[in-house]
């Protein structure tokens, strides 16, 4: 095989559609856009436009509330934590924090903190500091002989 004998598979490359090149091309005159009107013009965006009628997104009432101050927690399952300990990514003897989980590659980012949830089994004895934890997750860690320190509960108690 020589360099000049190389070619793509048949059908791998498709010729560009040359529009507006005469009636014999099949896409001449109106260039495949039909006749007059807003859709035949270039640079026109008509998403949600209803011909002057009040659009649906304005006819419907606004609902709900979007809290810009809400905190976003990263969920960490007990099974995922155990898998990271088994894979030697996380040292169970040292204290586990959000920063150590991100450095180990267990979590991509910590956002506003880590929330520990029950999702799988945990058998390793760990000391973990998280922003939040479910009652089941705390019970599972304590059953394995470890301890959970929750940092966000003080803020919730102060607000209530």
Residue 2 placed within a domain: no
Closest CA relative to residue 113, chosen from 122, 104, 101: 101
| pLDDT score, position 155 | 55
| pLDDT score, position 48 | 84
Residue 44 placed within a domain: no
If you ran DSSP here, which 8-state letter would residue 99 be given? Answer: H
Residue 42 placed within a domain: no
The answer to whether residues 124 and 82 touch, using CB atoms and an 8 Å cutoff, is: yes
Residue 66 placed within a domain: no
Instruction: Taking residues 42-60, report their average pLDDT.
Output: 86
| pLDDT score, position 44 | 77
pLDDT at position 78 over 80: yes
The answer to whether residues 107 and 147 touch, using CB atoms and an 8 Å cutoff, is: no
Q: For residue 61, what are the CA distances in angstroms to 36, 57, 58, 64, 95?
A: 35, 8, 7, 10, 50
Its pTM stands at 0.58
Residue 53 placed within a domain: no
Residue 120 placed within a domain: yes
Q: Which domain holds residue 108?
A: 74-154
The total number of structural domains in the chain stands at 1
Task: Write the CATH number for 136.
Answer: 3.100.10.10
Residue 45 placed within a domain: no
| pLDDT score, position 40 | 86
pLDDT at position 74 over 90: yes
Residue 69 placed within a domain: no
Instruction: Taking residues 25-37, report their average pLDDT.
Output: 89
| pLDDT score, position 84 | 94
């Amino acid at each position: 095989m020589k360099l000049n004998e190389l070619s793509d598979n048949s059908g791998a490359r498709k010729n560009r559609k040359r529009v507006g090149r005469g009636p014999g091309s099949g896409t001449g005159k109106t260039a495949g856009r039909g006749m007059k009107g807003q859709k035949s013009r270039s640079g026109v965006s008509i998403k949600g436009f209803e011909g002057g009628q009040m659009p649906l997104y304005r006819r419907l009432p606004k609902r709900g509330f979007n809290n810009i101050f809400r905190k976003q927690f990263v969920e960490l399952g007990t099974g995922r934590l155990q898998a990271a300990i088994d894979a030697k990514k996380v040292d169970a003897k040292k204290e586990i924090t959000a920063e150590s989980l991100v450095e180990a590659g267990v979590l991509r980012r910590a956002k506003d903190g880590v929330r520990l949830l029950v999702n799988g089994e945990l058998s390793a004895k760990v000391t973990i500091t998280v922003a939040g934890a479910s009652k089941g997750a705390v019970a599972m860690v304590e059953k394995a002989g470890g301890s959970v320190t929750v940092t966000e509960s003080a803020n919730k108690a102060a607000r209530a």
